[in-house]
Chain A
């Protein structure tokens, strides 16, 4: 039984944490600007569907990736318009997008491919990168030697996000808008525009995370492909106290838990359904234990009425 805890577990965990990292970093931009983005899971589903369809039709996974990213941004923009311009309840708006994501891809898939549950397999998946020296060293080869290019991209986005949010003027304005939008507007910052940017970026990244599931990790879109990963990403974001580095730790923890439940099935005499619950139970424990202690941006979830 102990062999399930070998380095392959970590390698699988890193792969499975990739969509979580991308979605969580997207959520970070949005939450830091003061807009709650519950719609991460729905955007991931839209991204996965778009990526799979475009990659199949164009026979190029990169076109699918781009289309998934742009559509994710557009879907998030709808959420932004509802939340920012019309000051709708942000949780309700996000939930509406999640509900749309359950039905729209199935309808479109049926219209295009006569199947509500699965799209055709794409011809070519995203490339697997073999790191030149590392892939020859015994332990590092298993841990770091061979991953899809999106895995490396996701992990490299963590320091980039940290730099953009904490070391650039754009990031400073973003945080100001999320902490005290009135003061930010007094200082001449366009609060609406900054929030729209943040929500749009969150959609771009979440769409990318969804595309990973259908273009890099799998080879087609299937119903419920995200399996609630958008919500887990949100939990990881809260767990990480809205900082990129700690959010990465949270995503890796959930990714490894996910990999663990896949590997442990059949090894221990517990029904598989209970084992599959493990990452979600962990999410609930994290949220129940930490949500009171997480420092939410002061104006997060509060609609802002721009002064005329």
Chain B
């Protein structure tokens, strides 16, 4: 009988835990859905649709808003500027948001290109220089430092780029 390795045991434990978690998550979402359905029905049944709100004494619904109901809205300055301002504020915010999003995207793209390019460049430089003179005359400590600043190493290849092995 073969002895199971602890790593295999842990792997199976992770899988079992994953299945258990999936079951708990599914059960929780089903119970939440059921609960919200029952609550919704009970809430609606408790509403008294037949009752109407009675106006409070001393107030008039039409004058309840005080000066606003007496205001003649047509006399107000309803020039297009005002409309554009209120709508313009919304479009300005949306424009600002779009601009910020595009700036953010640009930062991520440029940053990722530099990051990826530097890493790939370092790997390629290490590969190119493995059999060149630069890899032979410098000790390994300095060679690693040169790989870290590989643009400098590429410049040095102009002078020490001869293939030696």
The answer to whether A65 and B14 touch across the interface, beta carbons within 8 angstroms, is no
In the complex, the answer to whether A250 meets B10 with C-beta atoms within 8 Å is yes
What string of 1s and 0s marks CB contacts (under 8 Å) between A1-45 and chain B? 011011111100000000000000000000000000000000000
The answer to whether A6 and B21 have CB atoms under 8 Å apart is yes
User: Which residues from chain B contact A197 at a C-beta distance below 8 Å?
Assistant: 144
- Known pairs A74-B148, A256-B17; A62 contacts B25 (CB<8 A): no
How many angstroms from the CA of A73 to the CA of B143 in the assembled complex?
Answer: 13
Given contacts A9-B21, A10-B18, A250-B7, contact A77 B29 (CB under 8 A): no
Are A60 and B111 closer than 8 Å at their CB atoms? Answer: yes
Contact of A249 with B144 in the complex, beta carbons under 8 Å: no
By a CB distance below 8 angstroms, the chain A residues around B22 are 7, 139
Contact indicator per residue, chain B 99-113, by CB within 8 Å of chain A (1) or not (0): 000001001101110
Other than A7-B24, A63-B115, A124-B104, give 11 A-B pairs with Cβ distance below 8 A. A6-B24, A6-B28, A10-B21, A62-B111, A73-B148, A74-B145, A239-B10, A249-B11, A249-B14, A256-B14, A286-B6
Question: Whole-angstrom distance between the alpha carbons of A61 and B104 in the complex?
Answer: 11
Which residues does chain A contribute within 8 Å of B147, judged by CB atoms?
200
Query: How distant is the Cα of A7 from the Cα of B112 in the complex, in angstroms?
Result: 31
* Number of B interface residues in the complex (CB < 8 A): 33
Separation of A289 and B9 alpha carbons in the complex (Å)? 14
B25 close to A139 (CB less than 8 A)? yes
Q: Quick one: which of B83-135 are within 8 Å of A by CB?
A: 104, 107-108, 110-112, 114-115, 118-119
Interface of A is mostly: helix
Distance between A135 CB and nearest chain B CB, rounded to angstroms: 16
Asked if B141 contacts A138 (CB within 8 A), the reply is: no
The stretch from A98-106, A107-115, A188-196 touching chain B is: A188-196
Closest to B111 in A: A62
A239 to B9, CA, bound (A): 12
Q: Which residues of A contact B143 (CB under 8 A)?
A: 193, 196
Residues of B whose CB lies within 8 Å of any CB of A are 6-7, 10-11, 13-14, 17-18, 20-22, 24-26, 28-29, 104, 107-108, 110-112, 114-115, 118-119, 140-141, 143-145, 147-148
Using a Cβ–Cβ cut-off of 8 Å, how many residues does chain A contribute to the interface with B?
Answer: 46
Neighbouring B residues of A240 by C-beta, 8 Å: 7
Whether the pair B115, A66 counts as a contact (CB closer than 8 A) is: yes
A262 proximal to B (CB < 8 A): no
Complex Cα gap A62–B107 (Å): 9
- Which chain A residues border B148 with CB–CB below 8 Å? 70, 73-74, 77, 200
Please list the 8 inter-chain residue pairs (A to B) with the smallest Cβ-Cβ separation, ordered nearest first: A62-B111, A193-B140, A6-B25, A7-B25, A60-B111, A246-B7, A62-B115, A196-B140
A142 touches B145 (CB 8 A): no
Binary per-residue interface labels of chain A (50-81) against chain B in the complex, 1 for a CB within 8 Å, 0 otherwise: 00000000011111011001100110010011
Residues of A contacting B28 with CB < 8 Å? 3, 6
Beta-carbon contact of B14 and A196 below 8 Å: no
B21 touches A190 (CB 8 A): no
Query: A180-212: contact bitstring with B at CB < 8 Å (1 yes, 0 no)?
Result: 000000000010110011001000000000000
CB-CB nearest in chain B for A293: B6
Q: A129 CA to B28 CA in the complex, in Å?
A: 26
- Please give, as numbers and ranges, the residues of chain A lying within 8 Å of B26 by CB-CB distance: 139
| A2 engages B115 (CB within 8 Å) | no
Can you spell out 30 A-B residue pairs with CB atoms less than 8 angstroms apart?
A: A2-B24, A3-B24, A3-B28, A5-B20, A5-B21, A6-B25, A7-B24, A8-B25, A9-B21, A60-B110, A60-B111, A62-B108, A62-B112, A62-B115, A63-B111, A65-B111, A73-B144, A73-B148, A85-B141, A124-B104, A124-B107, A192-B140, A196-B140, A200-B144, A200-B147, A239-B6, A239-B7, A239-B10, A249-B14, A290-B6
